[in-house]
Amino acid sequence: MDSGMTNEQFGTVVEQYQKLVYTICYQMVRDHFEAQNLCQETFLSAYTHMDRCREEDMKPWLCRIAANKAKDHLKSAYVRRVQLAREDEEGQESGPGPAPPDPEGSPDDLYIVSEGAESIREMIRSLHEPYLKVSVLYFLEERTIDEIAQMLGRPRKTVQTQLYRAKLTLQKRIKEGARP
């Protein structure tokens, strides 16, 4: 599927689909800055692999790349820990901690992930007590619930409840793309 597309033709494709790609990224990550980064990443990836796509298939192909870039961003370690570390009815923790970095990730991908992680760290630091200390210890310092309870002199169940409520607040802020 060699497209034989020139740089000039690819520039036209970028102009034609830039708003669409940006919109897809923004709808998924709800952050203008991250959406711009992901939009650039999408076109960089498309340019690198443009021999894989015919010109007439460009629109769905770019949409798929954009959606995948946004999904990858949302799977960054801090976002995953905030969104997926949940407690069941008995208050037991479930879900893994932060994922190991992807060895296949490019420096640009790692930059985007680190920017997203910094945004999450800011959200965590903006929480008010009684959620601030438990959240910093759990999400940023990766302490266990038992360690946190001991350090703060709070019952384990209280720490679990405070973390659960902090997670709900953080999930809401992430979905809204809110800044602290």
Indicate whether 96 belongs to any domain: no
Q: Which pLDDT band, with edges at 50, 70 and 90, does 117 fall under?
A: low
7 backbone dihedrals φ, ψ, rounded to 5° = -60, -40
- Determine, yes or no, domain membership for 81: no
**Cα gap 56→132, rounded to integer Å:** 52
Taking a C-beta distance cutoff of 8 angstroms, is the pair 42, 108 a contact? no
Q: What is the CATH number of the domain that holds 171?
A: 1.10.10.10
Q: 94 lies in a domain? A: no
Q: Is residue 150 part of a domain?
A: yes
Q: Residue 48: what pLDDT?
A: 82
Residue 145, domain member (yes or no)? yes
pLDDT of the residue at 2: 47
- Would you mind telling me the total number of residues written for the chain in this entry? 180
What is the mean pLDDT of the segment spanning 67-81? Answer: 73
- Is residue 156 domain-resident? yes
Closest CA to 66 of 114, 110, 101, 19: 19
Q: Count of domains in the chain?
A: 2
Backbone angles phi, psi at 6, to 5 degrees: -85, 165
Domain holding 138, by residue range, is 108-180
pLDDT value of position 80: 55
Dihedral angle computed from the Cα positions of residues 73, 75, 79 and 81, in that order, rounded to the nearest 10 degrees: -160
Domain assignment present for 35: yes
pLDDT of residue 33: 86
0.85 cut: is pTM over it?
no
Enumerate residues 6+ apart whose C-beta is below 8 A from 147: 137
